[in-house]
Each structure stands twice: as C-alpha cells, then as structure tokens.
Amino acid sequence: MVDFADVDTLAAGYHQRGGQPGLAYGIVIGGELVHAAGLGERHLGGPPPDDGTVFRIASMTKSFTASAIMALRDDGALKLDDLAGAYVPELRDWPPVSPDSARISIRHLLTMTAGFPTDDPWGDRQQGLPLEEFASFLSKGVRFNWAPGTGFEYSNLGYAILGRVISAVTGVAYPDYIRHRLLNPLGMTRTGYEAEEFEVPGQQASGSAGVARGYRRSPGGWSEVGFDRPARSPRWAGSSAACATSPAGSPVSPARSRPGTPGSAIRTRCGAPAGGRCSCHRS
C-alpha cells in the first residue's frame, strides 16, 4: 500500500530545491487517480497547481505526431519508407547530400535520422510561423549534417514536416486529425493546442486560471513568459507545444506546436505547425 504522506514529503523536498515556481503530482492505482496535490504557484502570485491545471507539454507533442503516423501506416494510407517528398512537394527539388545518398523518407523523419542539424532553440521560435511561410522556407532547401539514414540528430524541423505529411494524407489540418484519431477516442478532453481552450470565462483579464504559465529565472527571481500568440492562419505543428491536463490519471492535453506545419508539436492548442511539440497537459 502506498503511503501518501511519504509521497507528499518526497514532492515537498523536490520543490524546496527551488528549481521551479510550482509543480503538481499524482498517483494512479488501477487506472484511477487516487492522490493528487500541488505546490508553489501555477502563475506568479497565483494559487498552487492541482489535478485540473493545464501545463504546456512542449516536445512531448512529438509522441502524438509519431502515433498518428503509425496509425496511418496501420491503415495502409502510407508506408514508412515512402519518400517525404511524395507528400510535401517543397522537398522534391532538394539536391541529394551526396551523389549516392538516400532521399529523405518518412522513417528518417520519424527516427530523427534525416540528417538535419539540431535546431533548438530556433525551432521554438517558429511556432507561430504560418503554413505558407513554412512552405516557402522548405522550398529554399535546408542544410544537412548527415546523409539521410547515417546518423541520429534531434530535429524539430523533421517533425514539423511530418505534420505536413499527416495533413497531406488525411486532407485535414494536423490538430484536427490528432483530435479525431487520438484525443477524442482516448477521452483526452483536456488536451489541446492553445491556452485559450482552457481559460475560465470571466477570468481572462487575470490570465488563464486553469493554465500554468511559463517562466524563466531572472536576476530578481522568477519572471513569467507568456504563451505564443495564436496564429490567425494554420501554423507548423507536430513538433512541440501542446497543452495537456492532470497530474497522473486524467487525460493529458497537448499544447501548441512549432511553425505552422502539422506534425512538429502539439501545444496549448495546435495553431502552430503540426508534428513537433505537443499540447497543454494538466499535471
């Protein structure tokens, strides 16, 4: 039998190290959330987070993108060894890295072996990039660190491209397909791509009451960092940034993702390109 008091003591000790302004945690037994608590502040000067607080889950969105790709593979809608350029036309004119190198496949993007260089923190700054601008960016080509299939390197760009693949195959926007195929069937109603999905009516003036805000450490202590502003047009998604719900047991929600294309990220609500980072999760 779990001693919840021991768990609370462990969590309190971790929080007292000062590595974050607030945290929420929970214990699931037999598929049920049996204990949950929060410490600190969900936003500076605000109440502690709890099992209903929504957090941005950033690159955990990539798991949703990968799951969607595998579901489409299982449906026979695509093959992992299909060339990415078959679905994302801007890639078709990219010259090969070497005369004998492979072209980029969906498998390469999925396993981060496409040869792209690591793109943090640049990728995070592209989350609001409209799809049209992302397409223009891709059409100009990119630099490679490796020939596809010869080395692993973490890439947000690759998952943003997977978001484009998902949209091309399904004919719907990346976040819409993620909701239809994954979130809704799993009952993940507290997962989305924009913080605004989780705001409490009448409390917008003081911020998203149910959403934990971002922060950074500054010389004077913690300072808040707001969510990216929602884009007015579809953005690159699939790589990062969704929002998800509760600490253990309850459905997790993805937050916003990276530049306009589907596939890069899920986040508070997916307005960015799909594929990279994922949603807001209440945790």
Q: What are phi and psi of 132, to 5 degrees?
A: -60, -40
Q: Is 19 inside any structural domain? A: no
Query: Is 26 contained in some domain?
Result: no
Q: What is the pLDDT of residue 44?
A: 85
Q: Name which of 124, 227, 156, 242 is nearest 191 in CA terms.
A: 242
Q: What averages of pLDDT result for each successive group of 10 residues across the chain (283 residues)? A: 90 94 93 94 89 88 96 98 98 95 98 95 82 94 96 95 97 94 91 78 52 86 74 60 49 32 34 37 34
Domain span at residue 150? 53-282
Supply the pLDDT for residue 280.
36
Residue 3, domain member (yes or no): no
For the chain, what is the domain count? 1
The pLDDT value recorded for residue 181 is: 96
Beta bridge partners of 221: 218
Beta strands in 129-279 (DSSP E): 214-218, 221-225, 238-239, 243-244, 264-265, 275-277
Is residue 64 one of the residues assigned to a domain?
yes
Whether 209 is covered by a domain: the verdict is: yes
For residue 43, being part of any structural domain is answered with no
- 254 in any annotated domain: yes
- First-to-last alpha carbon distance for the chain, in angstroms, is 23
pTM: 0.80
Tell me whether residue 102 is in a domain.
yes
**What's 217's domain CATH number?**
3.40.710.10
Question: Which two tokens mark 260?
Answer: 């306009």
Which pLDDT value is given to residue 242?
A: 65
